[in-house]
Structure formats: C-alpha cells, structure tokens
Copies of this chain bind each other. A is one copy, B any other.
C-alpha cells in the first residue's frame, strides 16, 4: 500500500486572478485509516469555477478554504483499503477528496459508481454536479415553455451545454454565448444550439446586445446566468416581461476582487439592475445544486436515456498530472478549456 500522497493546498489568497503561487504542492503521509473509513486512490478530480469563490475569505456558497488547507472538490477514484463494510478494494466511487492523489472518506460522503454503466468521469460532469445544475436550474427555476427563447452563457461548459440541450429537447429556441469561434462552432454543431455568439468579438455590452437581438427576434424569456459581467449587461434590456433568470454563477466577476467600483459595468448599476427586475417583472433565483439532490433521480430519468440515445452530448477536457491543476484552473477562469475540465491523476 502507498504510504505517501500528494495534494495541493491553498498557500495564499488571490487578489483578483489566482497566480500559481497561491497554490502549493505537498507530499504528505497518508493518515492511518480509522474505523468506518475508506482510502481512495483518485483517478480524476474536477476543476469548477465555484472553487474560485471558496479561495476568498468572504462568504460564498460554502465556507472558504483555509490557508494551508486542501483545495476541496469532487473526485472519482478506486477504493484501495476499507474499514467500512459498504466498500471493498476495487470499488469505484465519487468522493470529495479534492486536488489530491489520495483521500480518506466515510461511506456517507461517497457514492458508488459502476464503470460498466458509464465512464466514471461522467460522475463529475454530464451526470454529475454540473449537468444536474443545468437541468435543475432550467427546468425548476426557468419554467421553460415550448417556443420560448433561452440564452445561455458559457454555452459549451458542462452546465451551459446541458441547459442548451435540455431546452432544445423541450422545444425552445436556444442561443448560446461563448468565448471564441471554436466554442461557438461546438455549441451549434455538437450541442445543436440554434445560434451561438462569440462575446470576444464585441468590445462592449451594447454591441453584444445588438448581435443578441438578431438571434432573439422574440426577445429572451429565460437567461440561464452563470457568467455575469458584460453578458448580463447585454441581456437584461432584451428580457421579456415575466422572464426568468436562474442564477448559479458569475464567472466574469469571480476575479473582480472586491466587486466594487473596478467591477462596475459600462452602465449597469445596482439601481438599474433592480429596475429591470421590477419593470419587467423578472424572477431571479440564486441556487446551489447541493440543496436539491433529492431531485437527482428525476434528472437521471430524463437525461440518462437522452445520453444513451445520443440526444445529449458532452465533452471532456482532461489535463494530466496533479501538478498541472493550478495552471488548468487559472485557464478555466479565462475560458481556455473546451468542455468539462478534469485532472487525471497519474
């Protein structure tokens, strides 16, 4: 049995965009297994935008990560030792062992995976937290109606691509927004979006709005919000009365430091944002998917068969080697990845 492991901890809090020296790679002893505990060798772990929020001291979804603490997050791996009757060596599991080669978990924190049913990586993406987030936000908070128009930011990410594909299955017009021509092609050609707009082609919100207008001739009924920034500013005036905005992220603002004056938009002030919600009778709902896992079986019932039938596709972007996680994570925050970003632990 291995008795050493590697992991990445938070070395210091970033001021704006993370730098590599905000992280530190450590080699440590694997702690002795306690009663009821399981030792897992990670095969892949997940990099997700929400992790940026947890690097700050401020209140985010969950408590911030402490200095010198493990960069927490989802992972899939193989059980290599077990003091719990629920797991035996050779089992595969989804766990929260984070940016590390190994981790210790209790069965209550683990979900057993059957590699024969689906590749284990899908538990971190299309069938995992991101895919479920897209499905839940769209269907439960977006109230999609056939013939309506939905706009999705970060269209080719694991959340956005699920939103778009489920919306298409339900008969909506789907317009994506993504960074770069390659992603826009992926959105329309792989994921079947009706259109996708490259936000990098537009300097300001006003020009982006003009482009959106052409692709949303009947206005926007649902804006699935995981971006913020220029995209939000472009979208708001195009929202139809009684529009819905499920809000699960704001990646454009994660690196904005104190979210104060430097993060201000061209013209989007707090009063203007409030006014749009009021005047258009919008419904804006912030959510975090971990509060809604009771709905996961329902998600699987709809999306599982659609994946099997090829109606719902997904893309993985796999980086090899724990030591490359910080650079890959920095790239995620600037949109360098194509699809669900995973680190393969070699």
Contact = CB atoms under 8 A, between A and B. Distances in A.
B261 A269 contact: yes
Interface in A242-289: 242, 247-250, 253, 256, 259-261, 263-265, 267-275, 277-288
A281 B287 contact: yes
B278 A286 contact: yes
Given A232-B274, A263-B269, A270-B270, A286 B282 contact: yes
Given A61-B279, A247-B277, A291-B281, A272 B286 contact: no
A286 B280 contact: yes
Interface in A308-334: none
Contacts of A256: 271
Contacts of A275: 250, 253, 259
A59 interface: yes
A18 interface: no
Contacts of A287: 281
Interface residues of A, number: 42
A20 interface: no
A183 B15 CA distance: 45
A284 B276 CA distance: 12
A228 interface: yes
Question: How many monomers of this chain does the complex have?
Answer: 2
A60 interface: yes
B284 A284 contact: yes
Nearest to A267: B260
A2 B291 CA distance: 66
A270 B264 contact: yes
Nearest to A275: B259
Nearest to A242: B291
Contacts of A270: 232, 264-265, 268-270, 272-273
A240 to B, nearest CB: 12
B281 A283 contact: no
B286 A248 contact: no
A271 B61 contact: no
B269 A250 contact: no
- Interface hub of A253, A273, A278, A279 (most chain B Cβ within 10 A): A278
B278 A247 contact: yes
A270 B252 CA distance: 13
Query: Which of A269, A277, A288 has the most chain B CB atoms closer than 10 A to its own CB?
Result: A269
A284 B288 contact: no
Given A247-B277, A282-B285, 13 more contacts: A59-B279, A242-B291, A249-B278, A253-B271, A260-B269, A270-B270, A273-B273, A273-B274, A280-B286, A281-B287, A281-B288, A281-B291, A283-B283
Interface of A: 53, 59-61, 228-229, 232, 242, 247-250, 253, 256, 259-261, 263-265, 267-275, 277-288, 291
8 contacts: A242-B291, A250-B275, A259-B271, A261-B269, A264-B270, A277-B284, A281-B285, A284-B285
Q: Which 9 A-B pairs have the closest CB atoms?
A: A259-B271, A277-B286, A278-B286, A284-B284, A263-B271, A253-B271, A268-B270, A281-B286, A270-B273
